[in-house]
Structure formats: structure tokens, C-alpha cells
Amino acid sequence: MKTKQAGIVEIFTDGACKGNPGVGGWGALLQYNGQRRELFGGEKHTTNNRMELLAVIRALEALTKPCEVRLHTDSLYVQKGISEWIHAWKKRNWRTADKKPVKNDDLWKELDLLAQRHRIEWLWVRGHAGHEGNEQADVLANRGVQSVLSNSSVEMVRVQSIDTNSTSAGE
């Protein structure tokens, strides 16, 4: 799979949970100028929405400098949350319209800070519909689940930075 436009980091993220709540995993695929990084991890007791958010957070943390990003997620919770709902949540001091605390506000706050560092286009893709990047992120998220199941002390398995300073895959 090739990046559609030079200079843009393509990110595909997904979360998975065996039981909800239950053992969960997150996965992210990052592509930039021919470079490709796969990230995944998991937690023993979590929810699918937390894993969807963590996938995005860990992917953005892997960027070495402010970037232009095209982020693909199959989670409307993430896509609408960061694009639409978060503005009202912040105005209401992290409360929903019916005055209840926003779920996962710890992760939303972290994502909000990370997102401010980059120019991000938030794209929703239908899950399990043959979208190559999304399918690969799904495999990584499930690898995160398996890593937790096989080693109960593991919280985050593998993270590599993507070097956005280089201009080609060979650098």
C-alpha cells in the first residue's frame, strides 16, 4: 500500500476486545514516504472504546515532529468524538449534554493534546469491509489481545517511532 500524497502520514487504527469489558488490544499502522511501522499493545481489563482511543494515541505519540496526518479509523466514537463532540465536552468541563461525566475522559484529554500538535484529517472507514489499512490495523489489534493473553504482565508490547524527518524509505 502506498501513501497517497508525499509528506502526509497515513495512519490506520483499530481496537479489539474479548468481552466488553475484557482483555483488549489496539493496533496502528503508520506509513510515511515508503516507511511503514506497526504498533500494537493491550490491557488485561478494558473496553473496546478505550482500545480504539489508545490506538490513535499511541500512533500519534510515535510521530517525531508535528505532521500532516490522514487518520483512518473504523470507530465513529473516535471520529465523531474528536471532530464534533469534544468541543462541547470541554465547554461543559468534560460533561455530556445530560451532565454526566464523559467516559474515558483521561484518554480524550490525552488525545486532545496530541491532536493539537498535528494537522489531522479524521476519516471514518467501514470496519471489516476489505479496506487494506483497516484490515491490517485489525490484525495488529488482535495481536495486542493475544500478547496480553500469552503474557499477563504485558501492558504495551511494541512501539517504534516513525521518522518524519527523512524524505525516503532508505534514509
Question: For 60-117, how does the pLDDT look when each residue is reduced to its tens digit (9 = 90+)?
Answer: 999 999 999 999 999 999 999 999 999 999 999 999 999 999 999 999 999 999 999 9
**For residue 65, is it within any domain?**
yes
**For residue 67, is it within any domain?**
yes
35-58 pLDDT, tens digit each? 999 999 999 999 999 999 999 999
* Residue positions counted in the chain: 171
Looking at residue 27, its amino acid is: G
Using alpha carbons, select from 162, 164, 69 the residue that is nearest to residue 117. 69
On whether the CB atoms of residues 42 and 144 are closer than 8 A, the answer is yes
**For residue 125, is it within any domain?**
yes
List residues forming the annotated binding site for Mg(2+).
14, 52, 74, 138
On whether the CB atoms of residues 12 and 133 are closer than 8 A, the answer is yes
**For residue 95, is it within any domain?**
yes
**For residue 122, is it within any domain?**
yes
Q: How many domains does the chain have?
A: 1
Burial of 99 (0-12, 13-18, 19+ CB in 10 A): exposed
| Model confidence, pTM | 0.86
Beta bridge partners of 70: 10, 121
**For residue 164, is it within any domain?**
no
100: CATH: 3.30.420.10
**For residue 165, is it within any domain?**
no
Distance in angstroms (rounded) separating the CA atoms of residues 124 and 26: 17
Domain hosting residue 107, numbered range: 8-158
What radius of gyration do the chain's Cα atoms show? Answer: 16
List residues forming the annotated binding site.
14, 52, 74, 138
* Residues with catalytic roles: 14-15, 52, 74, 128, 138
On whether the CB atoms of residues 102 and 111 are closer than 8 A, the answer is no
**For residue 153, is it within any domain?**
yes
